[in-house]
Amino acid sequence: MKASVIAVAAIAASVAGAAHAEENRYIAPNGSGSACTAAAPCRYPIDAWNSLGGVNGTIHTLSDGFYSGLSTYGFAYGFSIQGTGPGTQLSTYAVSSASTLDLALTNVSMSSIGGSFAAAGSMLIDDVTFRKTSPLGFYFAPSGAASLTIRNSSFHDASTGTGAAIRIVTGGHNVNVTLDNVKVSGGIRGIVIDASGGGWAKVTIKDSTFTNIIGPAIYGTAGSGNVRLYLDNVTATNSNVGVVMAGANSLAWMTRSTIAGNATGIQQASGSKVFSYKNNYIFNNGTDGVPLPTSPSPAQGMPSGEIASALK
């Protein structure tokens, strides 16, 4: 287990782009220390965060257990939380800051409230299970240009009411989001990409599944902003709508994907476009949706200048 934690820490530092291992702190279900060392761990994540004293660091859990949550505002430095597996449980994870931060959450499970990121910079979620969170699984509404990577993670009944398992809100900023090997099942909505307040949302979803969702499995709306969605080997099944895009500035590209068993397979609303590479499987939906236009070449579909704008 120690070797796997070290490996995950290396991945997190690489993707998040910051040296999160400058300082190490430790927590345990029966911890009572204040220095948060391995020999004298703290009990709560917030105690470990406070003990970092304003420098980048990694908070390690020493064993499975319930660790309450971490909900802190005004962060001014990056950090990561490294769990020991699905038995490492956090009730919430909320970050809000005007600073640019690089954060990581790995090898834990989330229950109850879920997580959120409201800062500029980057957020990595790796090998995390969200189960019965309400109203959202993870809420990404950055205060500046930011990126979100979710991989090897699952969301089970992770949304209620007006929520979604994953909700992306640009708020006038440019964001890049990647989902890789993500499984979403149950709940009200799968992933919602909202650029109605302006800015760019460039979202890539690959090798992922969405199933048994009451509302839309995958939903993007542009409004005054821009949504660019790329689906590669994505499955959306047994939901109200497989993929729905709305707004003339909302475009999606699909390859090697399966949309089946939904009330509606593909919905292109208000001038949006969903392009197909003609190697997808769209069948057995109540309404499959109008035939998708053949994808233009990559240069036509996403001009280099447009990519540059989305990355800024």
Angular region, 199: left φ>0, alpha ψ -120 to 50, beta rest? left
216 lies in some domain: yes
Closest by Cα among 145, 224, 132, 128 to 179 = 128
Task: Single out the residue in 88, 122, 156 at which a domain terminates.
Answer: 122
What pTM was estimated for this model as a whole? 0.88
- Same domain flag for 18 and 104: yes
pLDDT digits (tens, 9 = 90+) for 102-150: 999 999 999 888 999 999 999 999 999 999 999 999 999 999 999 999 9
- Same domain flag for 218 and 296: yes
d(CA 217, CA 268) in angstroms, rounded, equals: 14
127 lies in some domain: no
Structural domains in the chain (count):
2
- Same domain flag for 86 and 169: no
d(CA 115, CA 43) in angstroms, rounded, equals: 20
Please determine, for residue 303, whether its predicted confidence score (pLDDT) is greater than 90: no
| 75 touches 102 (CB < 8 A) | no
Helix (H) or strand (E) holding 267: strand 264-269
129 lies in some domain: no
Which residue's entry shows tokens 């890539």? 204
Closest by Cα among 13, 19, 35, 108 to 69 = 108
- Same domain flag for 94 and 144: no
| Paired tokens of 166 | 């994953």
| 108 touches 89 (CB < 8 A) | yes
278 lies in some domain: yes
Can you tell me the mean pLDDT for 286-307? 67
Please determine, for residue 272, whether its predicted confidence score (pLDDT) is greater than 60: yes
Helix (H) or strand (E) holding 2: helix 2-16
| SS3 category, 14 | helix
